[in-house]
A and B are shown apart, each in its own frame.
Chain A
Amino acid sequence: MNALTAFSLWAQRNRWIWAAIGVLLLWLVLSIVTNRFSLSSLSGIILSASFLTIVGIGQMFVVTTGRGNIDLSVASVITLSAFVALLTIKGQDANLAIGVAAAILLGLAVGALNSLLVVGLGIPAIIATLATGYVLATATLLSNRAISGFTVSPALKYLASGRISGVPIMAVIAILGVAATSFVLRYTVFGQLLSAVGQNRTAARLAAIRNGPVIASAFIISSVLASLDGLLLGAYIGGAFLEMGQPYLLQSIAAVVLGGTLIFGGAATAVGTLFASILLILIVTTMQIIGLPPGAQDIVQGIVVIFVLALAGRQAMTRRAPIEPARGADDDALPAGDRPA
């Protein structure tokens, strides 16, 4: 019993563990039920999950800024970036530097636009990124017309789909990214500022934090990561198509929330996002193996997201519950929403 309490206390601080347990359980079940699951099939799943992880990390930064901020433009950025990569690299390794520069530039531009709308003009993030998404959709249509051929540079192709002694290079990239993100969140001033801004924006401002740059950098990080992801994803699938980024919209948000990042902002976990990405891809793959029709796959994904959120919602509530008793006698500091029913 004591070990269990100790674990639940530990798990409250390390919410990524739930996603990790989920991955482990689902993989075990699948290995036992089917005999088609091996370590190599897991590496395939991790390869797909790496693409999701990279967008997810970006999305996580935005979600952590609080106030329900979500970047809805990531899907359009991914698609457009894949097209831009085709246009700039033209299948030549020699053009790779230009392509990467273009992808980063695209990410910076979209991130800057989002920041301008959200921070500069005070437009709610959802609407601002939604509007940006519209504009990018047209840009994608136009670049689609300008595309001459669907050839991918071999080097990029190798980066996106190659393996080193069985380990996908993409997975290494994603894991390095997750490690770097964890470090930034935990051990740099920026990570602390981000968390502070996400928890209580007024308090952050009065603590002399300049909220604007912090929030803006979250949007820029999100767009740049989505753009780089689009570049790699395009190389992986060997081209680009309209709507190719679309699945990443819900999945990136789901990965963030499932991983244990608080949807209300202020607390993020990159490791959680990584495990949640793997879990989500594992779920999708399972459904494909079982042979569920695409419609049913959509339904299951939707149910998983709502179910996890409903659970996480309760978790967030029980996490806050002990606050109330310990200081139950004192009214002035009780969060307005947390009154006992």
Chain B
Amino acid sequence: MSQLAVAEQDSAAAMARLAPIRQSVITLTGITKSFGPTLANAGIDLSVAAGGVIGLVGGNGAGKSTLMRILCGAMWPTLGSISFAGEELDFTDYGTGEAQRRGIRMVHQELSLCANLSVAENFFLETPGDAASRPGWRALYRARAREALDAVFPGNAIDADAEVGHLSIAERQMVEIARAAATPGVKLIVLDEPTSSLDLDRSKQLRAFIRERAQAGLAFIFISHKLQEIIDIATEIVVLRNGRTAWQGHVADASIGKLVQLMGGDANPVHQHAVAAASAQDVLVRLSGALTADLGHDINIVRGEIVGLAGLEGSGQKELLHAIFRPDRKQSAAVTRHAQASFIAGDRQKEGVFPLWSVLGNISIGALARRPALSLVSDRANRDTAAGAASKLRLDERRFGSNITELSGGNQQKALVARALVADTPIILLDDPTRGVDIATKQDFYRLCNEIARGGRALVWQTTEDAELLACDRVLVFAGGRIVRELSGAAITESAVVGASFTQPADGLAGAGHKDAAAAGLGRKLVNAAPFISLAAVLAVMISANPAVASIFGLDLLLMPALSLVLVTAAQMFIVGGSEIDLGVGAFAGLVSVLSATLLYDQPWLGALALVAALAAYAGLGGVVQARKIPAIVVTLGASFIWVGLGYALQPTPGGASPEWLSALFSWSLGMVPTSVILIAAVALIVFIIDRLPLGVVLRGFGNNPVAMIRSGWSPTRYALVRYLIAGLFAGAAGLSLTAINTASDINSGNSFTLLSVAAVVMGGCSLLGGVISPVGAIAGAVTLSLIGALLGTLSVSSDFNAATQGLILIALLTLRSLTADRRSEQ
């Protein structure tokens, strides 16, 4: 306690020294945040001066993230106050939106870009204010993106029109940083582990940029586990420990050793392994072929050694790790594994933990996964096995019953290691295992790895932190997908690793990849053209069987009924664009049809009111789905019963009549071109225009990465309502068209459209994962599907086969699509 008190005095003194120099941008005073009995933040003071660069360090659970969330308005503190340039603000008035208005931007550790949008469009999402809904609005953002990227990272070759999904992780991080830095009126930028994916040069560029902008008065908070970066860039350092400020002071008074000590770690260097006395006969993994061509000899990984994989991000280290774990056909020639392997992922949330399970469940699955599926599970046996592993790891057995997500990052990591230990495999693969783990836990982890290796296992360790490689017995350095250097023992130094990382492999594996990509690209083009080819084929068959089809009247007769499906497809496309599926859209069209043929015909005002109410209910559905975070498929399936039920209640048997004006809307003629073709083209055009508007970009953004959209200040509920409103308008138009074309209504008339519209949307090339709108393809698909019935009739096949044909077309297209799919984008 006394130490803490001293530290607090220190920090107060430091504050007093710094405060008068520059004007403060934002000041947090006495921030306390409690979660039940736990204090995540306890009386933290933080003042950021204009032009200041605060290095924020602390272990996991030290309270950095909580403090930053409070700073950015994502969370309210239990106690404490916030003020901007001396002006006190009530926290109840403070939120993410307000923080953004006041010039605070945060670059998150998990990136917040929409992968399906271009770089320029992502810039638009962050500062939407300047976009007018006129053609060419993108040019503004394109220029801004270009300029911002060049300002921070000179010499980058990022195309502002490139889809973010096609950029490397490092490039995405660069875009994200540049985007925050380019925001007009920005006063403070919080960078959370900004260099985790950047190589040394880019990291230097970033730090140079920070220095330059800080001179101009912009403030930064720089969070990093890489302490040398903190020492290099910060003007002031804040160390958090257990939710309190452990130290705060000028960078000149800090050193890496001191910071590590303050954070609660010991400052011993990583290097502690003795060179393993490995029995060279015991080869567990053998690497050969193209992979090791540059080395001129094969690599054997044996029991008892730790092998590090190094190199620039994305040079093939991860691929090797996965190839060892599960050799697939392509690489099996280069990688031979002679024993079982288990995998410890660094991205615990995405690749490690099972969030519904206890710690025990998370550990035992390692052993269970290797047993026959029908064998029995016993809690006691699980506990016994896990206890052995846990004691080695110093993981408290009393936590076995807790949910895994209640553990800190470091302890979760221990549970994952325990999982590998109970799996009892001779090979353990580690994928950046200490990511987001604090220094003290890391030291513990390195010791542990040594012990495990001594116990006769082989560890293969992929890391992004070069310093960690010092814990390895051997290091394989990757460049361009190949191993270009093998370092061992004393030859392993950070400079040797970095030097080797930039080696150009004799002939990269990239060439082969390009050829594959070209072939797949061709395949994809063919698949994308499939709806048009099949439409042409269907029409050709029908015209050859009956030339009268080619007349304007013939086409109208054939295509007019397709109009309703086209409209429903347009509605479905917007829902699918939000990565949802509406299983009630056809029923809704049916309901609108009934309403228009009954109420609207008999009492126009009441009918119009009912239509508006139905539309509002439909849009509200989107709001419910969003606000309650429940699956749209089931909600809309439930809603379909409501729509059908309402329809039945209004009109138990088919009937009614179409209002004259409505029929007129669909029965005009230009003479030259079939009316149906004009109407269908108009639908495609409207969808296309909506999609190109800023509104369309926002909707696609939500379809791809809603979290990022919320961080950029967009309201998910509002846009869910808008999305469903747009879909409802199209579905409503479909209902009206049904009434006009059939001159009567039947509540069941729309039912078949639901599934057909999903099929059409998929045919058209929209991803069910969301974020893609392709009006022309989907509408061609819709027309094709609706012609199937007529086609079968022409070929005098029983209409019984209608459904099967549609189903088979769908399966065939999806099969083609999946065979030519870009596997990377699926991940």
Which residue of A is nearest B826, CB measured?
A122
Cβ of A191 < 8 Å from any Cβ of B? yes
Chain A interface residue bracket vs B: 35 or more
A199 close to B354 (CB less than 8 A): yes
Chain B residues within 8 Å of A299, by CB: 641-642, 645-646, 649
Chain B residues within 8 Å of A250, by CB: 637-638, 640-641
Kindly supply a per-residue 1/0 record for chain A positions 255-288, scoring 1 wherever the CB is within 8 Å of any chain B CB and 0 otherwise. 0010000111011000000000000000000000
Chain B residues within 8 Å of A199, by CB: 354-357
| Interface residue SS majority, chain B | helix
Cβ of B781 < 8 Å from any Cβ of A? no
* Option from B41, B355, B637, B804 in Cβ contact (under 8 Å) with A134: B804
Which residues of A201-217 have CB atoms within 8 Å of chain B's CB atoms? Answer: 202-209, 213-214
Cβ of A190 < 8 Å from any Cβ of B? yes
A127 close to B369 (CB less than 8 A): no
Chain A residues within 8 Å of B818, by CB: 121-123
B807 close to A329 (CB less than 8 A): no
Q: How far is the CA of A139 from the CA of B798 in the complex (A)?
A: 12
| Interface residue SS majority, chain A | helix
Chain A residues within 8 Å of B377, by CB: 186-189, 191-192
B376 close to A188 (CB less than 8 A): yes
Q: How far is the CA of A203 from the CA of B350 in the complex (A)?
A: 7
Most buried by B among A138, A142, A305: A138
Kindly supply a per-residue 1/0 record for chain B positions 724-762, scoring 1 wherever the CB is within 8 Å of any chain A CB and 0 otherwise. 000000000000000000000000000000010011001
A305 close to B634 (CB less than 8 A): yes
* Option from A68, A302, A332, A335 in Cβ contact (under 8 Å) with B633: A68
* Option from B110, B243, B352, B371 in Cβ contact (under 8 Å) with A336: B110
Kindly supply a per-residue 1/0 record for chain B positions 769-813, scoring 1 wherever the CB is within 8 Å of any chain A CB and 0 otherwise. 000000000000000000000000000000011111111101100
* Option from B345, B370, B406, B631 in Cβ contact (under 8 Å) with A203: B345
Stretch of B55-63, B124-132, B473-481 at the chain-chain interface: B55-63
Cβ of A301 < 8 Å from any Cβ of B? yes
B646 close to A295 (CB less than 8 A): yes
Which residue of B is nearest A339, CB measured?
B74
Q: How far is the CA of A148 from the CA of B156 in the complex (A)?
A: 75
Cβ of A131 < 8 Å from any Cβ of B? yes
Which residues of B167-216 have CB atoms within 8 Å of chain A's CB atoms? Answer: 192
Cβ of A65 < 8 Å from any Cβ of B? no
Which residue of B is nearest A113, CB measured?
B811
A131 close to B372 (CB less than 8 A): no
A206 close to B343 (CB less than 8 A): yes
Cβ of B765 < 8 Å from any Cβ of A? no
Stretch of B30-38, B493-501, B516-524 at the chain-chain interface: B30-38
Kindly supply a per-residue 1/0 record for chain A positions 181-199, scoring 1 wherever the CB is within 8 Å of any chain B CB and 0 otherwise. 0000011111111011001
Most buried by A among B374, B635, B802, B810: B810
B642 close to A131 (CB less than 8 A): no
B710 close to A339 (CB less than 8 A): yes
Cβ of B154 < 8 Å from any Cβ of A? no
Shortest distance between the CB of B396 and any CB in chain A (Å): 15
On whether A117 and B814 interact (CB within 8 A), knowing A189-B375, A298-B642, A302-B640, the answer reads yes
Cβ of B64 < 8 Å from any Cβ of A? yes
Cβ of B373 < 8 Å from any Cβ of A? yes
Stretch of B252-260, B444-452, B622-630, B676-684 at the chain-chain interface: B622-630
Chain A residues within 8 Å of B60, by CB: 329-330, 332
Q: How far is the CA of A243 from the CA of B319 in the complex (A)?
A: 50
Chain B residues within 8 Å of A207, by CB: 342-343, 365-366, 369, 419, 423
Chain B residues within 8 Å of A331, by CB: 64-65, 109, 192, 436
On whether A333 and B74 interact (CB within 8 A), knowing A192-B368, A250-B637, the answer reads no
Chain B residues within 8 Å of A313, by CB: 628-630
* Option from B35, B351, B368 in Cβ contact (under 8 Å) with A324: B35
Cβ of B102 < 8 Å from any Cβ of A? no
Cβ of B647 < 8 Å from any Cβ of A? yes
Which residues of B37-58 have CB atoms within 8 Å of chain A's CB atoms? Answer: 38, 40-41
Closest 7 CB pairs of A and B: A325-B35, A134-B807, A295-B648, A298-B645, A138-B804, A302-B641, A305-B638
Q: List 26 A-B contacts (CB under 8 A).
A: A121-B818, A123-B811, A131-B759, A132-B811, A135-B803, A141-B803, A186-B377, A188-B376, A189-B371, A189-B372, A199-B357, A200-B353, A203-B345, A206-B352, A208-B370, A249-B637, A250-B638, A264-B631, A294-B645, A298-B642, A298-B644, A305-B637, A309-B635, A309-B638, A326-B38, A335-B349
Given contacts A193-B373, A206-B351, A323-B405, 17 further A-B contacts (CB under 8 A): A117-B815, A127-B810, A130-B810, A138-B802, A138-B804, A195-B354, A196-B354, A199-B356, A200-B350, A253-B637, A310-B630, A316-B629, A327-B406, A332-B60, A332-B348, A335-B405, A339-B74
